[in-house]
């Protein structure tokens, strides 16, 4: 117990340094080809919405040929409003573990959102410079 307590202060000191990266998850809809099972429609949650990056995926497919659902996990490349990549899933009903390739539409970050942070705050400051002779200025002239 004392050994575990000895590691606590260094771990607490590292906490501000070892924080997870900021990511904005997004969703995707597409088509999946499951090896040995055929084609299906897919819904995926992707770990980030930033374009031109690899992402982790969690999803579910509906396989048309068998009429079964297939939950899955995988990785994908996220492009400009699209994704594609492999995944591994579990076919409900048959119990098979299967591999697939999928592609589809994904809600990626818009170009207007990239690098525009902080511009809105500058507009509010311009209005303050135009104040001439406000109520606070008159109080200074009375000699208080």
pLDDT beyond 70 at 12: no
Q: What is the CA radius of gyration of the chain?
A: 27
Structural contact between residues 46 and 57, judged by C-beta atoms closer than 8 angstroms: yes
Per-residue model confidence as pLDDT tens digits over 29-47: 999 999 999 999 999 999 9
Band (pLDDT 50/70/90 cuts) for residue 22 is: confident
Can you read off the two tokens belonging to residue 70? Answer: 């297939």
pTM of the model: 0.62
Can you read off the two tokens belonging to residue 85? Answer: 């990549």
């Amino acid at each position: 117990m004392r050994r575990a307590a000895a590691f606590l202060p260094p771990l607490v000191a590292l906490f501000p340094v070892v924080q997870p990266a900021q990511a904005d998850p997004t969703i995707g809809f597409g088509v999946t080809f499951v090896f040995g099972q055929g084609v299906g429609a897919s819904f995926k949650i992707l770990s980030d919405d930033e374009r031109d990056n690899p992402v982790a995926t969690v999803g579910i497919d509906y396989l048309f040929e068998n009429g079964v659902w297939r939950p899955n996990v995988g990785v994908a490349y996220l492009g400009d409003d699209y994704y594609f990549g492999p995944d591994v899933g579990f076919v409900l009903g048959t119990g098979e573990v299967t591999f697939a390739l999928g592609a589809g539409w994904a809600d990626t970050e818009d170009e207007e959102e990239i690098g525009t942070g902080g511009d809105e705050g500058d507009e509010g400051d311009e209005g303050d410079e135009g104040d001439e002779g406000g109520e606070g200025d008159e109080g200074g002239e009375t000699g208080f």
